[in-house]
Amino acid sequence: MVVLASRQLPVELEALAERIVAALQKEADNFTATGASPRIELAALQVTRVIDPGNQLPGYEGVWRNARNDRCGTLTINSDNSFYAEYDLFCPHPRDPRWFVEMVTAWGNEDSLRSEASLVTAL
């Protein structure tokens, strides 16, 4: 990928990005203790425009960072508007102590959006 100047998402991708963020937020709310889920906001996403070397079309890569400036989530929107997003939670499962919630993810395209939490066995 060739990285171009940093900027915000184009207006035509904002609705898609909002749907993705809403899906991540819903999963985070479902897999954290009541009131403990992070606020996943599109406005906090740091976006960079990239060029796919395979087809020379633009796509976008975004990063969410926490208060310590650590990367805590990513969003990639490809030139065909397919996407993949993840946001780190790193918390115990709120209802089942056998599980630990690593992250929430969302993927798909303009017509199909899927999301889930990534669980690992608690130690």
pLDDT at 2: 52
d(CA 79, CA 10): 12
pLDDT in tens, 45-89: 999 999 987 889 999 999 999 999 999 999 999 999 999 999 999
pLDDT at 11: 92
Token pair for 71: 């990367």
pLDDT in tens, 88-103: 999 999 999 999 999 9
Residue 17's nearest CA partner among 72, 71, 76 is 76
DSSP bridge partners of 96: none
Q: Are 79 and 52 in contact (CB under 8 A)?
A: yes
Half-sphere exposure of 47 (CA within 13 A, CB side): 21
pLDDT more than 90, % of the chain: 84
Instruction: Please report where in the chains the tokens 């395209």 appear, as a residue.
Output: 109
DSSP bridge partners of 59: 50
pTM: 0.90
d(CA 80, CA 5): 20
